[in-house]
C-alpha cells in the first residue's frame, strides 16, 4: 500500500504519525476539535499531540487506516516531511493580544494560502509571524520571520533552531503586509536559486554571504546563482 508522503513512521516501526491540515496559525473551532476527536475515537488513535509549530499531530496510526482518516478529516494532511514550506506559525497579534501592533493572524493566513507545501525547495522552510517585537512566534529562529511594530513589519531571514542554531538577519523594516508577502516570494526564489543540495536557508546565507543573498532577494536580475 502506498502511503501519503506526509505519513511519518514512528519509533515502533509499525505505526505512523501525521499532521492534520487545519486553518492557518493554529486557530481552532469547536467543529474542528469535534471532528479531530471523532476521528481519534473512530480509529483508536492512541496519541494526539500539539507540535511546537501549533499543529495537531495524530500519532500511532495504523497504515491501513490512513486513507479513511484522510477522507474523514476532509482537509487532508499537512506537509511534515520533505523540501517545501511546512508551516506558518503566528501569534494572536492585534486580533487578541493587548500588546499586538500588527495583524499577525491575517498575514499568516495570506502566507499559508500562498506558500504551504507548494514549492520544491532545497530543504524544509518555516515561517514565524509575530504581532510585536516580543516575537512570541520565534520569528528570529525560523527561515522567514516578521514581527509587527507601530509603523509596519520588520522582516528577518535565515534563522533556524536544531543542532546548529542561527538567528535571522533583518532584511527590511517598517514594511506593509503586501511588502512582506512580496519579500517572502523573493526570499524563496533566491533560496531556490542559491541553495545547494539539501541545505537549509541559514546555511545558504552563511555560504554565499549576507550581502550576496540580500542582493539576490532585492535585485534578483543582478546576481548570478553560480
Ligand atoms: S508577539 Fe506580541 S502580539 Fe504576539 S502574542 Fe507575543 S506579545 Fe502578543
Cα-to-centroid distance, 220 and ligand 1 (Å): 33
Atom of ligand 1 minimally distant from the CA of 100: 3
Q: Is the pLDDT confidence value at 225 over 80?
A: no
Q: Which of 54, 90, 92 to mutate to test the pocket of ligand 1 (most atoms within 8 A of CB)?
A: 92
Is pLDDT at 210 greater than 60 in this prediction?
yes
For residue 222, is pLDDT > 80? no
Is residue 35 within 8 A of residue 20, CB to CB? The reply is no
Which of 23-27, 194-198, 218-222 shows the highest mean pLDDT? Answer: 194-198
In sequence order, what are the residues at sequence separation of 6 or more whose Cβ sits closer than 8 angstroms to the Cβ of residue 25? Answer: 54, 88, 89, 90, 104, 105, 108, 109, 112, 129
Residue 198 has pLDDT above 50, yes or no: yes
- Which residues form the pocket of ligand 1, taking CB atoms under 6 Å from any ligand atom? 91-93, 97, 99-100, 130-132, 134-136
- Residue whose CB lies within 8 A of the most ligand 1 atoms, among 54, 91, 141, for a mutation test: 91
What is the per-residue pLDDT across 130-186, written as a single tens digit (0 to 9) for each?
A: 999 999 999 999 999 999 999 999 999 999 999 999 999 999 999 999 999 999 999
106 vs 97: CA distance, rounded Å = 14
- In order of their start, the domains of the chain are 8-78 (3.90.480.10), 85-222 (3.30.413.10)
Confidence of residue 226 (pLDDT cuts 50, 70, 90): very low
Contacts of 98 (CB under 8 A, 6+ apart): none
Q: Cα(160) to centroid of ligand 1, in Å?
A: 20
- Residue closest by Cα to atom 2 of ligand 1: 132
Query: Which residue from 25, 104, 130 has its CB within 8 A of the most atoms of ligand 1, so it is best to mutate?
Result: 130
List pLDDT tens digits, range 10-53: 999 999 998 888 877 888 889 989 999 999 999 999 999 988 88
- CA–centroid distance, 133 to ligand 1, in Å, is 7
- pTM confidence score: 0.90
Neighbours of 135 (CB within 10 A): 18
pLDDT digits (tens, 9 = 90+) for 93-144: 999 999 999 999 999 999 999 998 777 899 999 999 999 999 999 999 999 9
Instruction: Kindly report the length of the chain.
Output: 226
Cα angle 7, 9, 14 (rounded to 5 degrees) comes to 120
What does pLDDT average to over the chain?
91
Q: What pLDDT score does 52 carry?
A: 84
pLDDT, position 221:
65
- Span from the CA of 90 to the centroid of ligand 1 (angstroms): 9
Amino acid at each position: 500500500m502506498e502511503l501519503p508522503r506526509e505519513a511519518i513512521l514512528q519509533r515502533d516501526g509499525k505505526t505512523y504519525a501525521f499532521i492534520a491540515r487545519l486553518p492557518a496559525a493554529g486557530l481552532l473551532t469547536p467543529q474542528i476539535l469535534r471532528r479531530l476527536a471523532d476521528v481519534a475515537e473512530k480509529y483508536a488513535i492512541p496519541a494526539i499531540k500539539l507540535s511546537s509549530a501549533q499543529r495537531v499531530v495524530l500519532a500511532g496510526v495504523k497504515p491501513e487506516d490512513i486513507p479513511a482518516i484522510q477522507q474523514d478529516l476532509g482537509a487532508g494532511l499537512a506537509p511534515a516531511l520533505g523540501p517545501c514550506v511546512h508551516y506558518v506559525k503566528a501569534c494572536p497579534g492585534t486580533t487578541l493580544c493587548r500588546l499586538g501592533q500588527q495583524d499577525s493572524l491575517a498575514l499568516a493566513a495570506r502566507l499559508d494560502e500562498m506558500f504551504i507545501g507548494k514549492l520544491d525547495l532545497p530543504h524544509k522552510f518555516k515561517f514565524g509571524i509575530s504581532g510585536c517585537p516580543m516575537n512570541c512566534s520565534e520569528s528570529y529562529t525560523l527561515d522567514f520571520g516578521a514581527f509587527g511594530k507601530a509603523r509596519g513589519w520588520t522582516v528577518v531571514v535565515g534563522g533556524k533552531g536544531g543542532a546548529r542554531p542561527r538567528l535571522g538577519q533583518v532584511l527590511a523594516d517598517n514594511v506593509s503586509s503586501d511588502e512582506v508577502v512580496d519579500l517572502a516570494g523573493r526570499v524563496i526564489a533566491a533560496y531556490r536559486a542559491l541553495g545547494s543540495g539539501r541545505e537549509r536557508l541559514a546555511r545558504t546565507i552563511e555560504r554565499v554571504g549576507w550581502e550576496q543573498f540580500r542582493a539576490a532577494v532585492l535585485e534578483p536580475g543582478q546576481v548570478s546563482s553560480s
